Amino acid sequence: MAFVPYVPPQQLDPRVQELGQRVTLTVAEFRQKYPDLTDEEIRQALASAAGVATSGGARPAAARGAIAAAVAALAVLGAYLFAQHGGGGTAAVRPIAFAVAVAAVVVAIVVRRARRE
């Protein structure tokens, strides 16, 4: 016999219910004023009011890709500078240390933003 847990629906906070009713009324009034209003426009407006990105999550993924490309470019630059300076000495270490420091800061920023999402 399979066990299917029952989770009773949670009661919404009265303030949440009131806000939902007000939003519904505002959208209905706006639809009367602008009959060609689409559901996507409403979704974008609500996301904008809530301070959420409206791109559907594509923007953070694109930003992470750009940051990964920047880190890779810094690594290539560091290797190039290391090779140009004969592979040794303190003159070659400085650009590499700078590139590693910048990469570490970029990675820290990405991790911090990923935790907030």
Q: Read off the pLDDT of residues 87-111 as tens digits, 9 standing for 90 and up.
A: 556 665 677 677 777 777 877 777 7
Judge if 64 and 111 occupy the same domain. yes
Residue 25 banded pLDDT, cuts 50, 70, 90: very high
Judge if 45 and 62 occupy the same domain. no
pTM of the model: 0.38
Q: Tell me, yes or no, whether 8 lies in a domain.
A: no
The region of weakest confidence among 16-20, 51-55, 65-69, 73-77 is 51-55
d(CA 117, CA 60): 9
Judge if 40 and 71 occupy the same domain. no
Helix (H) or strand (E) holding 41: helix 39-50
Judge if 64 and 97 occupy the same domain. yes
d(CA 24, CA 112): 35
Q: Tell me, yes or no, whether 6 lies in a domain.
A: no
